[in-house]
């Protein structure tokens, strides 16, 4: 029995619209998880279940169930739609305009989620089975740190051959992304009444000087040959006082580093080299704990292009879509970083475009979804 690709895409688009029409902010994913579970049951998945944290999972049995499992991973939460007036259509409408589905989560990540679920069902509809067991894993709270993925990987009771992320890759195969390190840099001064600033030591001046030097010194940071240049962005600035007539006792800035070639120690040294004659302290940006002492390179995830999983996935997807998909990397971080410590290979493959993520008017191309379905189906057949 052949797959009806036109009907498959139509069903996938309909599911995407229903997903978009079901808001699922972090901690509020349960209704969407129920919708996904209901869809997988309707599509005759062999197993469907929700775990204790709220992740939704579905399994289709493969021809050889002794092989390690292929996992298709997406998340069920999305970011806030923001100012509604900036949207061309209501953000939870899933309206189709010029061949694109518009709505919050269309790109990140409900359109790709629908593609993953319906590509698994496509084989069953065509009277086939995948080569090995395939599990869809829809995890919670990706947008706020990845608690769902962390729970999933720490409670695995089956062997995993590969995780394929649905994060936006424009139908290219994403091999990884830089890791994230956040660092508080605190400048200690001496607080006084603002009418006599000469009697104190205002840390705001030191912070301003530091930020100027930071902007000029970024080119000193190293680069990874595929994942790219290390970057740093000052994000949050805080002082110890809320009184406008008091100079601060301290001022601090949060630095967001993205890197695949630096370590905690090298970034610590980089920052301290930019500070002249001022007392500073450096703390972990997530916990405020003392900054870690490590020479280990910081990664998100990275699967080398010459690896067996990349070669096999690229060949299979290529046979599905009729051309060899390009290799790429993500600029943003993904839950893939949580699987790396467990030795699980990770790739990304998705019809969504990275530049659509989190914007007002977020959308996804229906044509690319159709192409991605073909790529996924062939991957399930062969990998």
**pLDDT value at residue 287:** 83
Beta partners for 134?
Answer: 60, 70
**pLDDT value at residue 217:** 96
Give the other-Cβ count within 10 Å of 207's Cβ: 24
**pLDDT value at residue 278:** 84
265, 284 in Cβ contact below 8 A? no
224, 301 in Cβ contact below 8 A? no
Parallel, antiparallel, or unpaired for β 160-165 and 327-330? unpaired
Quickly tell me which residue has 């100012």 as its tokens: 83
Closest CA to 345 of 70, 75, 65, 64: 70
Q: Say yes or no: do domains 5-172+301-382 and 178-284 share a fold.
A: no
| Structure-block tokens of residue 19 | 């997903």
pLDDT average, residue stretch 62-85: 97
* 3-state DSSP of 16-66: HHHHHCCCCCCCCCHHHHHHHHHHHHHCCCCEEEECCCCCEEEEECCCCCC
**Is residue 257 within a helix (H) or strand (E), and if so which, with residue range?**
strand 250-259
Return left, alpha or beta for 99; rule: phi > 0 is left, psi -120 to 50 is alpha, else beta: left
Per-residue pLDDT band for 1 (boundaries 50, 70, 90) equals low
Closest CA to 137 of 222, 57, 240: 57
**pLDDT value at residue 346:** 98
**pLDDT value at residue 359:** 97
Candidate from 59-68, 139-148, 285-294 with smallest mean pLDDT: 285-294
pLDDT average, residue stretch 337-346: 95
Q: Residue 286: pLDDT above 70?
A: yes
pLDDT per residue over 50-62, tens digit each?
Answer: 999 999 999 999 9
Cis geometry, peptide bond prior to residue 261 (ω within 30 degrees of 0): no
pLDDT per residue over 245-257, tens digit each?
Answer: 999 999 999 999 9
Residue 265 C-alpha from the chain's centroid: 25
Mean pLDDT of the chain: 96
Classify the C-alpha dihedral 112-323-337-160 as positive or negative. Answer: positive
pLDDT per residue over 99-124, tens digit each?
Answer: 999 999 999 999 999 999 999 999 99
Q: Residue 218: pLDDT above 80?
A: yes
Q: 331 CB contacts (<8 Å, ≥6 apart)?
A: 177, 228, 354
3-state class (DSSP) for residue 81:
coil
Q: Which residues of 140-167 are buried (b: 16+ CB within 10 A; e: fewer)?
A: bbbbeebbbbbbbbeeeeeebbbbbbbb
Q: 290 CB contacts (<8 Å, ≥6 apart)?
A: 283, 284
**pLDDT value at residue 290:** 86
**pLDDT value at residue 209:** 95
Q: Residue 132: pLDDT above 80?
A: yes
CATH superfamily of domain region 5-172+301-382: Zn peptidases (3.40.630.10)
Q: Residue 165: pLDDT above 70?
A: yes
Per-residue pLDDT band for 299 (boundaries 50, 70, 90) equals confident
- Percentage with pLDDT > 70 across the chain: 100
Q: What is the DSSP letter of 244?
A: T
| Domain assignments of the chain as residue spans, ordered by start | 5-172+301-382, 178-284
pLDDT per residue over 168-215, tens digit each?
Answer: 999 999 999 999 899 999 999 999 999 999 999 999 999 999 999 999
89: phi then psi, degrees, rounded to nearest 5: -140, 165
Q: How far apart are CA 293 and CA 272, in angstroms?
A: 14
79, 23 in Cβ contact below 8 A? no
Predicted TM-score of the model (pTM): 0.88
Q: How far apart are CA 70 and CA 159, in angstroms?
A: 9
**pLDDT value at residue 288:** 85
Q: Which CATH number fits domain 178-284: 3.30.565.10, 3.40.50.300, 3.30.70.360, 3.90.110.10?
A: 3.30.70.360
3-state helix vs strand vs coil in the chain, percent to 5 = 35, 25, 40
| Structure-block tokens of residue 90 | 């209501």
């Amino acid at each position: 029995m052949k797959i009806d690709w036109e009907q498959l895409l139509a069903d996938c688009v309909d599911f995407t619209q229903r997903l978009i029409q079901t808001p699922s902010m972090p901690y509020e994913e349960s209704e969407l998880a129920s919708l996904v579970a209901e869809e997988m049951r309707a599509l005759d998945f062999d197993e469907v279940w929700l775990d204790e944290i709220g992740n939704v999972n579905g399994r289709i049995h493969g021809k050889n169930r002794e092989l390690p499992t292929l996992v298709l991973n997406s998340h069920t939460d999305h970011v806030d739609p923001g100012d509604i007036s900036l949207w061309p259509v209501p953000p939870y409408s899933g309206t189709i305009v010029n061949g694109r589905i518009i709505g919050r989560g269309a790109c990140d990540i409900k359109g790709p989620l629908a593609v993953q679920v319906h590509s698994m069902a496509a084989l069953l509809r065509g009277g086939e089975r995948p080569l090995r067991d395939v599990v869809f894993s829809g995890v919670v709270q990706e947008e706020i740190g990845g608690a769902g993925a962390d729970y999933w990987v720490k409670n695995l009771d089956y062997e995993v051959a590969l995780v394929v992320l649905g994060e936006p890759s424009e139908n290219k195969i994403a091999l990884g992304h830089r890791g994230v390190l956040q660092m508080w840099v605190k400048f200690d001064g001496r607080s006084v009444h603002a009418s006599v600033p000469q009697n104190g030591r205002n840390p705001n001046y030191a912070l301003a000087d530091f930020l100027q030097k930071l902007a000029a010194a970024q080119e000193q940071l190293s680069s990874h040959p595929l994942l790219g240049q290390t970057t740093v962005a000052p994000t949050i600035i805080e002082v110890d006082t809320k009184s406008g007539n008091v100079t601060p006792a301290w001022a601090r800035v949060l630095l967001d580093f993205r890197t695949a070639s630096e370590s905690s120690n090298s970034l610590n040294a980089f920052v301290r080299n930019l500070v002249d004659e001022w007392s500073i302290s450096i703390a972990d940006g997530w916990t405020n704990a003392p900054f870690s002492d490590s020479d280990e390179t910081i990664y998100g995830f990275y699967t080398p292009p010459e690896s067996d999983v990349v070669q096999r996935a690229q060949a299979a997807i290529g046979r599905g879509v009729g051309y060899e998909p390009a290799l790429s990397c993500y600029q943003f971080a993904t839950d893939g970083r949580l699987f790396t410590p467990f030795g699980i290979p990770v790739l990304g493959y998705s019809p969504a475009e990275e530049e659509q993520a989190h914007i007002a008017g977020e959308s996804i191309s229906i044509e690319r979804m159709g192409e991605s379905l073909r790529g996924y189906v062939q991957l399930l057949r062969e990998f």
